[in-house]
Structure 1
């Protein structure tokens, strides 16, 4: 027994030594690629001041590869799209200063910091030094305009204000106060983005003396449509969090789940219930998350969000199935969430500019008539859908894929019909003066109408698009669509009895 105990203690000690050694090596890790003098100055200080950030960067590809080395890879294997770089960039790691020292004249958040001019926020415009194609694709996508599409759309601005404002009760009536920017920033703008401004400077006491740093409003934020102090739109860190900027993190559905979560956008929930999600949950540790290009059936065996929507996908023999894109609408032909009715994808990413037949900034009227001139044509929809079909057919037969999309088409029609039925009921309440349409989101029957399309119809459509049957049936699906409609009808009958 003593021998066994002694052996057990020895094993624990040996394991602890290994862990300590590995941890120590991580702490003393140096960049694998040469660093610039400016970046070394940053590392010398911040390895003590903010060691977590430095260690994260040391784990990144940025610390291990110079742009010059990256350019030597075959084109299909590159993670960069620039063909040339500034001379001072070529032969050093993509370090602190190479990112935070970009375009100082454009950055209102730039400040003098121990002899260097530093930007607080690294923007997509800065990232385009190495990733110009990705920058252009993203800049022309709906994600880049996510903030403006919310706050500059009078209908959805009202929805945000109604939802996030503090309420008071006076004489048994609910009174809506103004929504604070903090409330909006931690809710809708947390995903859509904020507009970050510089309001002044503040003094910070440090071990090396006082330093002056910019004061940023509506910060921190990593929303996809963030407006940065240099005027650019977006946040690469929404998907590639700093400071590892990992392609693995961006490819995994956990990252998308930060915003694409039930009840309004149940993409992650449906995915994890689906057969694709089953396979991912069981086998993800066996997959190659770093490979570029990404070989279907070799590097991964079931699609994730990235595989379907934006990754560079190739066959095992290297044939391109889908080009890499940072316009997340490139493989989408129909918009199934967030609006009253599902409809063809918009032509312009600035959806707040859309005007429907009733003069509202919506892609359809309240009765479902599409603003056709602002939406993709049938031919354009087919082009987008064909890109998605190629991804599907890299695993599935054409009969499987055709059946899947036929089912989705039917679901879109049927859920739109269920929304129209609810709209007719709320319209009756407005016509009878039982509810006030000046704010279509703040009364009981109006909020049930919103739930019909924002939660339940969305859920059914996502379930059809991504094969999650329970979300089509009972989990915010057809049961709720039907039950909610009945409750709206019952509410109207109660109002009629009161009269």
Structure 2
């Protein structure tokens, strides 16, 4: 019986290999050699997962052997490793080349058609060709995104409070821990899950029963995902598989998957901004694949990646900014209020931060920064110069100075509004009008959260990305910031009035 089964599988693979070969003759995908192992993968998967296969065939990976590009001038390179293993160098970057790397480190490695294959391709695998990019990413806040959220006691409490199940018990709401599936489809959808290998399982396929790893918290492409090989991150968070396109990564829709209102409204603000308007109107004619990226020739207005990480040059080829995959390295201020806007952290692992009050936050409730863990003034000035140099590709120095001066004012004013709301909360907790053992679960506390997490952030992002006055004013902007503050005051006044009457 086993012999018959194996025989049928071999016949199936043989037929599909012939089909693949004939298809390759009729539809020429590439002049680059595809390895025998990858051809075997395609022979089956062209039928089972044709979308993935076709996507890969249209990718740069399918058309590129590392040995053909490794000696390009540095400024034109898309790979940064000084050398590539000989067994990979002469073939296109295919299924087997990625899904077999570092097999001994992967808990999700399994025997698939007599080859050791793993399911989850990780930054450690991509590092084979992209070592500099992975090293840069590994020190970024994005690579620590899961840890930042789940290992910080304050953020974890907020996460659990928002996403946990609530049940009614007489006159109380009972909060239960959120399920893995809820965390997976909410916060960890962007921050990344922990991919665990539970065991193995048998699955039914068109060619019989197969034994595969049983993965927990998969699928997930969160940017700070913890992988079965122990690495952090997911390159496909931005470079969607299986085309892994630089064009996809450079367009703002990709960032908009996670950087979305109400807490991080970068995409929404960009869409409404002057830059976003130009991109929406004219972007279809721009070149999103060139390396290096020429300002004024390839693109006429910035996208997220222009300002935050791309290698940019002038039309004459002069370097404006170097490529980086540490996405905070050009930023001097953190707009995202925790609970106030503050200088960028020195380390991507922000779980190490402790403020003067002993909390794992970059500022105290009175807005005193944890300076030991934040970049100093000199570093802030240095980074702002780098950023301003990008702006200077299109704008005058007067324009740039005016823009950032306005943004500084906005940061100070929104921090003041958050501090006013916090002063209300401190008085409320002091008088035991609310229980601060969980500062996130009561209605007045959630009004306070909106003040710094939604409204102040929206105003700051709008100011930083310029030209989105509706967001600054009405859409989670100054209107809501002011109205919410008044509601908090009214709530506190009512509580005081009730308390006095009881005396």
| Offset of residue 72 of structure 1 | 3.4
Partner of 1:482: 482
Secondary structure of the residue aligned to 2:62 is coil
**1:217-236 aligned within 5 A:** 217-236=216-235
Partner of 1:470: 470
Partner of 2:20: none
Partner of 1:13: none
**1:52-67 aligned within 5 A:** 52-67=51-66
Partner of 1:46: 45
| Offset of residue 169 of structure 1 | 1.5
Q: Is the aligned partner of 1:444 residue 2:447?
A: no
Q: CA RMSD in A?
A: 1.3
**1:225-304 aligned within 5 A:** 225-304=224-303
State the alpha-carbon separation in 1 of the partners of residues 59 and 26 from structure 2: 15
Q: Is the aligned partner of 1:155 residue 2:167?
A: no
Partner of 2:493: 493
Between 1:45-54 and 1:64-73, the stretch displaced more is 64-73
Deviations 1:400-458 (CA, angstroms, capped at 9, x unpaired) = 00111111111111110000000000111100101011111000110000000000000
| Offset of residue 395 of structure 1 | 0.6
State the alpha-carbon separation in 2 of the partners of residues 56 and 27 from structure 1: 18
Deviations 1:104-146 (CA, angstroms, capped at 9, x unpaired) = 0100000000111001000000001000000000001000000
| Offset of residue 208 of structure 1 | 2.4
Secondary structure of the residue aligned to 2:301 is coil
Do 1:147 and 1:189's aligned partners in 2 also have CA atoms closer than 8 Å? yes
State the alpha-carbon separation in 1 of the partners of residues 187 and 315 from structure 2: 41
Secondary structure of the residue aligned to 1:63 is helix
State the alpha-carbon separation in 2 of the partners of residues 196 and 410 from structure 1: 43
Do 1:354 and 1:361's aligned partners in 2 also have CA atoms closer than 8 Å? yes
State the alpha-carbon separation in 2 of the partners of residues 366 and 183 from structure 1: 30
Do 1:251 and 1:289's aligned partners in 2 also have CA atoms closer than 8 Å? yes
Secondary structure of the residue aligned to 1:105 is helix
Do 1:27 and 1:55's aligned partners in 2 also have CA atoms closer than 8 Å? no
Unmatched tracts of structure 2, length 5 or more: 1-22
| Offset of residue 172 of structure 1 | 3.1
State the alpha-carbon separation in 2 of the partners of residues 259 and 131 from structure 1: 24
State the alpha-carbon separation in 1 of the partners of residues 98 and 238 from structure 2: 17
Do 2:337 and 2:456's aligned partners in 1 also have CA atoms closer than 8 Å? no
Partner of 2:13: none
| Offset of residue 26 of structure 1 | 12
Secondary structure of the residue aligned to 1:460 is helix
State the alpha-carbon separation in 2 of the partners of residues 29 and 219 from structure 1: 35
Q: TM-score, normalised by structure 1?
A: 0.94
Partner of 1:422: 421
Do 1:168 and 1:176's aligned partners in 2 also have CA atoms closer than 8 Å? yes
Partner of 1:12: none
Partner of 2:195: 196
| Offset of residue 28 of structure 1 | 4.6
| Offset of residue 29 of structure 1 | 5.1
Between 1:164-173 and 1:376-385, the stretch displaced more is 164-173
Partner of 1:18: none
Secondary structure of the residue aligned to 2:78 is coil
State the alpha-carbon separation in 2 of the partners of residues 64 and 32 from structure 1: 7
Question: How many pairs align?
Answer: 476
Deviations 1:155-213 (CA, angstroms, capped at 9, x unpaired) = 00000000001111122322211211111111100000011010000011223222110
Q: TM-score, normalised by structure 2?
A: 0.93
Partner of 1:368: 367
State the alpha-carbon separation in 2 of the partners of residues 417 and 379 from structure 1: 24
**1:342-353 aligned within 5 A:** 342-353=341-352
State the alpha-carbon separation in 2 of the partners of residues 344 and 32 from structure 1: 50
Unmatched tracts of structure 1, length 5 or more: 1-23
Between 1:288-297 and 1:68-77, the stretch displaced more is 68-77
State the alpha-carbon separation in 2 of the partners of residues 384 and 277 from structure 1: 24
Do 1:332 and 1:388's aligned partners in 2 also have CA atoms closer than 8 Å? yes
